[in-house]
Amino acid sequence: MAALRRKFGEDYQVVNTNRATTFSAPVKKKRQRFVDKNGRCNVQHGNLGGESSRYLSDLFTTLVDLKWRWNMLIFLLTYTIAWLVMASMWWIIAYIRGDLNHGHDASYTPCVANVYNFPSAFLFFIETEATIGYGYRYITEKCPEGIILFLFQSLMGSIVDAFLIGCMFIKMSQPKKRAETLMFSQDAVISQRDGKLCLMFRVGNLRNSHMVSAQIRCKLIKSRQTPEGEFLPLDQCELDVGFGTGADQLFLVSPLTICHEINPKSPFFDLSQRSLMNEQFEIVVILEGIVETTGMTCQARTSYTEDEVLWGHRFLPVMSLEEGFFRVDYSQFHITFEVPTPAYSVKEYEEKNSLPSPLSTPARTESHGARRDRVFSVDCINISEERRGGTGGRLPSKLQRMSSSGKEDLQRKVLLLSSQHSEKACSTGDLPLKLQRLSSTQVSGPENRLTLKSLKVGFEPMTQSTGDLYQQSLLPTPTLSTAPVPMHSPLLSAGGRPEDNLPAKLRKMNADR
pLDDT in tens, 139-198: 888 888 888 998 999 899 899 999 888 888 888 888 888 888 999 999 999 999 999 999
Confidence of residue 237 (pLDDT cuts 50, 70, 90): very high
The percentage of residues in the chain with a pLDDT greater than 90, rounded to a whole number, is 34
- Give the closest residue to 221 by CA, choosing from 238, 236, 233, 199: 236
- Give the closest residue to 105 by CA, choosing from 118, 114, 94: 114
Between 276 and 49, residue with greater pLDDT = 276
- Give the closest residue to 159 by CA, choosing from 229, 97, 219, 86: 86
385 sits in which H/E element: helix 379-386
Q: Is 258 helix (H, G, I), strand (E, B) or coil?
A: strand
Tens digit of pLDDT for each residue in 368-391?
Answer: 444 444 434 434 444 444 444 444
pLDDT value of position 14: 41
pLDDT value of position 406: 53
**Under 8 Å CB-to-CB from 67, ≥6 apart: which residues?**
none
pLDDT of residue 463 exceeding 50, the answer is: no
pLDDT value of position 269: 93
Q: What is d(CA 385, CA 387) in angstroms, rounded to the nearest whole number?
A: 5
pTM score, two decimals? 0.57
User: Residue 356 gets which letter from DSSP?
Assistant: P
Q: What is d(CA 491, CA 504) in angstroms, rounded to the nearest whole number?
A: 16
The percentage of residues in the chain with a pLDDT greater than 70, rounded to a whole number, is 65
Tens digit of pLDDT for each residue in 496-507?
Answer: 555 566 677 777
Task: Label the pairing between strands 256-261 and 282-291.
Answer: unpaired
Tens digit of pLDDT for each residue in 31-46?
Answer: 789 999 988 898 888 8
- Give the closest residue to 309 by CA, choosing from 271, 342, 344, 348: 271
Tens digit of pLDDT for each residue in 397-454?
Answer: 554 555 555 555 555 554 444 444 444 434 444 444 444 444 444 444 444 444 444 4
Q: What stretches of 173-232 show up as alpha helix (H) in DSSP?
A: none
> Amino acid identity, residue 54?
R
- CA distances from residue 235 to 225, 242, 281, 495 in whole angstroms, order as listed: 10, 22, 10, 90
pLDDT of residue 84 exceeding 70, the answer is: yes
Q: Is 99 helix (H, G, I), strand (E, B) or coil?
A: coil
**How would you class 210 by CB atoms within 10 Å of its CB: exposed for 0-12, middle for 13-18, buried for 19 or more?**
middle
Asked whether the CA dihedral 468, 470, 473, 476 is positive or negative, the reply is negative
- CA distances from residue 452 to 97, 448, 461, 490 in whole angstroms, order as listed: 133, 12, 19, 17
Q: What is d(CA 478, CA 475) in angstroms, rounded to the nearest whole number?
A: 9
Cβ–Cβ under 8 Å, residues 267 and 203:
no
Cβ–Cβ under 8 Å, residues 302 and 285:
yes
Confidence of residue 268 (pLDDT cuts 50, 70, 90): very high
pLDDT value of position 390: 45
Mean pLDDT of the chain, nearest integer: 74
**How would you class 489 by CB atoms within 10 Å of its CB: exposed for 0-12, middle for 13-18, buried for 19 or more?**
middle
User: Residue 186 gets which letter from DSSP?
Assistant: S
pLDDT value of position 112: 86
> Phi and psi for 238 in degrees, rounded to 5?
-80, 135
